[in-house]
């Protein structure tokens, strides 16, 4: 399910206040490969165990927020830091 464009226009990272955009297929694939390899952690240091179907990435491409059933999970503790995951 695609995120409504109007909603996407007002969402931002709750930590950095960076705008977010939907991740493209290649970004999702690369992240999901790292998740399946057990190399990706949330900001609260818990392991990300489930691959993402959709994700929102900050404009500076440092944080990712998962989207579950079309609902963005914009919680600081659930963010994925791409630098820590070795993807940036």
Does 64 score more than 90 pLDDT?
A: yes
87 lies in a domain?
Answer: no
86 lies in a domain?
Answer: no
Query: H/E element holding 55?
Result: strand 54-58
Q: What is the pLDDT at residue 1?
A: 63
Q: What is the pLDDT at residue 44?
A: 93
48 lies in a domain?
Answer: yes
| DSSP, res 47 | B
Number of Cβ atoms within 10 Å of the Cβ of 28: 18
Q: How confident is the model at residue 26 (pLDDT cuts 50, 70, 90)?
A: very high
Q: How confident is the model at residue 24 (pLDDT cuts 50, 70, 90)?
A: very high
Mean pLDDT along residues 23-39: 95
Identify whether the C-beta of residue 44 lies closer than 8 Å to the C-beta of residue 77.
yes
Per the structure, the complete domain to which residue 54 belongs is given by 5-81
Domains in the chain: how many in total?
1
Prediction pTM value:
0.90
88 lies in a domain?
Answer: no
Q: What is the pLDDT at residue 3?
A: 79
Mean of per-residue pLDDT scores for the chain: 92
Please give the backbone phi and psi of residue 28, each rounded to the nearest 5 degrees, phi first. Answer: -60, -40
59 lies in a domain?
Answer: yes
Residue found by looking up tokens 């998962």 in the block: 66
Residues in CB range of 19: below 8 A, 6 or more apart: 11, 12, 13, 58, 59
């Amino acid at each position: 399910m695609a995120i409504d464009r109007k909603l996407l226009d007002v969402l931002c990272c709750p930590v950095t206040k960076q705008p977010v955009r939907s991740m493209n297929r290649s970004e999702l694939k690369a992240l999901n490969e790292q998740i399946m390899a057990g190399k990706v952690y949330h900001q609260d240091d818990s392991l990300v165990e489930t691959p993402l179907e959709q994700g929102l990435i900050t404009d500076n491409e440092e944080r990712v927020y998962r989207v579950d059933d079309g609902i963005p999970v914009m919680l600081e503790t659930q963010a994925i830091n791409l630098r820590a995951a070795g993807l940036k």
